[in-house]
Amino acid sequence: MGLVVQKYGGSSVADAEGIKRVAKRIVEAKKNGHQVVVVVSAMGDTTDELIDLAEQVSPMPAGREFDMLLTAGERISMALLAMAIKNLGHEAQSFTGSQAGVITDSVHNKARIIDVTPGRIRTALDEGNIAIVAGFQGVSQDKKDITTLGRGGSDTTAVALAAALDAEVCEIYTDVDGVFTADPRVVKKAKKIDWISFEDMLELAASGSKVLLHRCVEYARRYNIPIHVRSSFSGLQGTWVSNEPLSDAKDQKVEQAIISGVAHDTSEAKITVVGVPDKPGEAAAIFRAVADAEINIDMIVQNVSAASTGLTDISFTLPKAEGRKAIDALEKAKASIGFDSLRYDDQIGKISLVGAGMKTNPGVTADFFRALSDAGVNIELISTSEIRISVVTRADDVNEAVRAVHTAFGLDSDSDEAVVYGGTGR
């Protein structure tokens, strides 16, 4: 029995009852002979309440102070969780990100972990304690200021600690049973995936699946830390994410599926730059303007230019929240780039099919397009990787498209049991 890192999100510790429930589960793992390190998020709505307060005193809260403020949230939940565990007769100590040795760069509100030096955690474990660590936070290497890791930060904290402590597994507890072959709110027959490779999970996360964030999976892959995503409300096995199926999972006769799942995303918009002169450097100028505004773009498609005009159109997708900023940046650069006009469309959706099996199954792409066509779904953009095909459609067609593809690839469950599916905290 080795070392286990468990992470609990805000919905699992939303109130005193939740904290006591989680404490019991942690003690269970300890009783089973594990050394246990727990990473915990802020309780329920605490973070939103703190953000509200910040907005009341300042319209543009400074990064350093905003991080100092937000980290109070985990401080509360971790201390309460340690108390609840001690109340069950087991030793527990809570540690801030700084005390746990989570060293980051100095980019406030979205710092990156650059080192983990968990000396105090190791000592606490060796003395028989359960160690409770604040998720989402660290301390900057140069200035020793408190930092936060941004979205999905607590998951990343858990995986980083698991790597630094050479843990057997990093268990991510959430309010769903695991990773599904599609969003169960859309596809009633979506199945829980027993095992999925890091590679496929990365593609699913990049394509709209919200259970695990890309950044956390990327970290786990780099250090080869198996992740077990599971519900804090049930005792069920969840989804294992790792390089190879683990022995535990093998007992359940898991083999790699051709297709892991269907992801969808309706949080993006499409910008089309119309009438771009078809000459070298034009695309570069456009995306330089967008990148300088610190906007992350997703898919890019350039049409074949019309021979008669020598002009072409370039489309790309980006988060809706950054649409305004991108339009402003492009309008400003319009004269120097030289294009006719901009079109902005936020009524789009993206459907992605993910599976390493498609590398060796050339028919997958054809089957995918056939399923969409049979469902009467029109395709606007296409982009592919070695193990993923994504298309952009009308937003209204997304749910129908996801269901059609899910069925076409034989992913539908035999059971009709409904699954409740929600997002994780940070």
Q: How far is the CB of 133 from its own copies (least distance, A)?
A: 12
Category of 144 on φ-ψ map: left (φ > 0), alpha (ψ -120 to 50) or beta: left
Q: How far is the CB of 84 from its own copies (least distance, A)?
A: 4
Can you tell me the distance from the alpha carbon of 166 to that of 168, in angstroms, rounded to the nearest whole number? 7
Binding to its own copies (CB under 8 A): which residues in 42-81? 50, 53-54, 56-62, 64-66, 68-69, 71-73, 75-76, 78-81
For residue 235, the tally of other CB atoms under 10 A from its CB is 8
Q: How far is the CB of 36 from its own copies (least distance, A)?
A: 16
Residue 94 sits in the site that holds its own copies (CB under 8 A): yes
Q: How far is the CB of 68 from its own copies (least distance, A)?
A: 4
Q: How far is the CB of 151 from its own copies (least distance, A)?
A: 20
Look up residue 112 and give its DSSP letter: -
Residue 21 sits in the site that holds its own copies (CB under 8 A): no
C-beta of 62 vs 420, nearer to its own copies:
62
* Cα of 309 vs its chain's centroid, Å: 43
Query: Helix axis angle, 153-164 relative to 214-223, nearest 10°?
Result: 10
Q: How far is the CB of 71 from its own copies (least distance, A)?
A: 7
Per-residue b/e over 252-269, b at no fewer than 16 CB within 10 Å? eebeebebbbbbbbbebb
C-beta of 16 vs 284, nearer to its own copies:
16
C-beta of 50 vs 299, nearer to its own copies:
50
Closest CA to 152 of 98, 111, 122: 111
- Residue 12 CA neighbour count, 13 Å, CB half: 31
C-beta of 42 vs 161, nearer to its own copies:
42
Residue with tokens 């997958």: 364
C-beta of 21 vs 185, nearer to its own copies:
21
Coil, strand, or helix at residue 56?
helix
Residue type, position 357, single letter: G
Residue 29 sits in the site that holds its own copies (CB under 8 A): no
Residue type, position 311, single letter: L
C-beta of 144 vs 332, nearer to its own copies:
144
Q: Which residues of this protein are in contact with its own copies, per CB under 8 A?
A: 16, 19-20, 23, 50, 53-54, 56-62, 64-66, 68-69, 71-73, 75-76, 78-84, 86-87, 92-94, 99, 120, 144
